[in-house]
Amino acid sequence: MNLAKYLIVLVLPLFFACQKSTTVSITLDPSECGKDQACIVYNDKNYNFVENEEGELSVVVPEVNYPTYCRVKVKKMSKELFLTPGAVFTAKPNFTTKDPLQRLTGSGDNRVENNYLNARSNYRYTEKYFIFTEEEFTEGLEGFINGQIAELEAQDLNKVFTVVEGQRLRFSALQTFLAYYKYRKYKDANLTFTPVIEDYIMGCLKSNEKFCFLDEYKTMAGAASKIFATNGQEVDVHKNIVQTVHYIVSHFTNEKLINGLINHFATDYIQEYSVSSGGELINFYNQNVTDELMKKEFALLIEEKTRLAKGQPSPIFNYPDVDGNMVSLTDFKGKAVYIDLWATWCGPCCKEIPYIKALEHELEGKNIVFVSISMDKDVKKWKAMLESQKMGGVQLNFDGNRDFSKAYDSKSIPRFILIDADGNIVDSNAPRPSDPKLKDMLRTLL
């Protein structure tokens, strides 16, 4: 590393740490879209454009405290923008063009750098890495990264951009390891790595932790921690996540990074599984996360999930069947109830239909009721599918009332819920009919 580059790396975080929180102003040429079709994605938040008096679309992005990136999202397509505190930039998207160099052009601060971003190629290592040994993989990947950084430095771009983009390049390329790991794991389920790869990947992360504000860094830090914490041997989900957050605390020093990674893993676990099985993880979270807003939101999540924990009374539904008769959960008191939230337009939902029909047939006469609640607004289409698929069980339609799905915090379908004969929750996010685990769960109730 030459002296000038070294000084930039050394001074960069210190300089921007002293800056007050500032903003970036972005104006968008409206010829490609309306204000409701575009937004800026920054720090996992969407910032919508508003139309000014000149008919331009503009947005102010807050809390840009250091050189970083956002994405200009137009309809379903997006491109990156490089941001510096206080920058003013006008972007002109043209995602319909076949020329990749013209998909996002602009003027103003960081114009040259953003035009470079628009024209650059993918930073992924594309050699036949999957056949390499660990030593060959790490050597090849490092050579690729150094070559890409050399090409970047030859562009004579803004020095700060060159340093930050070089690190983003590094961690984009390092994500090739995730594909390498997946392939090796597919070939050998009992795969364990030697220290060669862990030392290389974690060495890159730990020596460049000052760049942990980059999304590519955070992605790599989280994924690598999960793999190396268990050496790829995932047995018990809760135990593996606990091992992962311990690994994070012992290998990183940046407080904001540690908070974010622990929050990511703990929140995902509680959302996907349950509060009752996550006691050790919850205790670790409360002892190690220092961000008060994160802790407050996590506490609200725990409160919400506790309400839906095993043994808690289930929320009640009251929906019409195909004949318009109102049916309530209380009508099935004394029977276990397996609930399916679905819709005719939902592909994954429809794939479960043969499995739920087979399950209904297998358990016919048992002390269980299968209730399907359709989220279809088109009642005729719903009834037509019931007839064409010869669907049994209790078929209900939500009739525009989402109270039950909201009570279960259901943000997507299909969603399956299992309730016992006393009307209490067995599993608020039960296995799908196609999952063999469901039969084992049902046997404990019947």
Res 33: pLDDT:
65
Mean of all residue pLDDT scores within the chain: 87
In a domain, 193, yes or no: no
Q: Which of 77, 92, 119 is the last residue of a domain?
A: 119
CA-wise closest residue to 202 among 191, 213, 190, 193: 193
pTM metric for this prediction: 0.73
pLDDT at 9 over 50: no
Res 64: pLDDT:
86
Domain count, the chain: 2
197: number of Cβ within 10 Å: 21
DSSP β-ladder status, 24-28 and 88-93 = parallel
In a domain, 368, yes or no: yes
Structure tokens given for 180: 């390498």
Q: Which of 119, 152, 184 is the last residue of a domain?
A: 119
Task: Characterize 36-60 residue by residue with b for buried, 16 or more Cβ atoms within 10 angstroms of its Cβ, and e for exposed.
Answer: eebbbbbeeeebebeeeeeeebebe
Please return the burial class of 35, using the count of CB atoms within 10 Å of its CB with bins 0-12, 13-18 and 19+: middle
CA-wise closest residue to 419 among 288, 322, 276, 313: 313
In a domain, 174, yes or no: no
Lowest mean pLDDT among 22-31, 104-113, 312-321: 22-31
Range of the domain at 84: 3-119
Dihedral-angle region of residue 176 (phi above 0 means left; psi in -120 to 50 means alpha; beta otherwise): alpha
Regarding predicted confidence, which is higher, 168 or 36? 168
Residues 233 and 305: their CA atoms lie apart, in Å, by: 28
In angstroms, the Cα distances linking 241 to 36, 221, 247 are 39, 14, 10
pLDDT at 381 over 80: yes
Residues 396 and 374: their CA atoms lie apart, in Å, by: 6
Residues 410 and 343: their CA atoms lie apart, in Å, by: 14
pLDDT digits (tens, 9 = 90+) for 238-297: 899 999 999 999 999 999 999 999 999 999 998 877 777 788 999 999 999 999 999 999
In a domain, 362, yes or no: yes
Assess contact for 340 and 309: CB atoms under 8 A: no
Confidence band for 30, pLDDT divided at 50, 70 and 90: low
Q: What is the CATH number of the domain that holds 427?
A: 3.40.30.10
Res 87: pLDDT:
87
425: β partners: 419
Res 288: pLDDT:
97
Structure tokens given for 283: 């205790």
Residues 62 and 172: their CA atoms lie apart, in Å, by: 25
In a domain, 198, yes or no: no
Task: State the helix-helix crossing angle for 195-207 and 159-174, rounded to 10 degrees.
Answer: 160
27: β partners: 58, 90
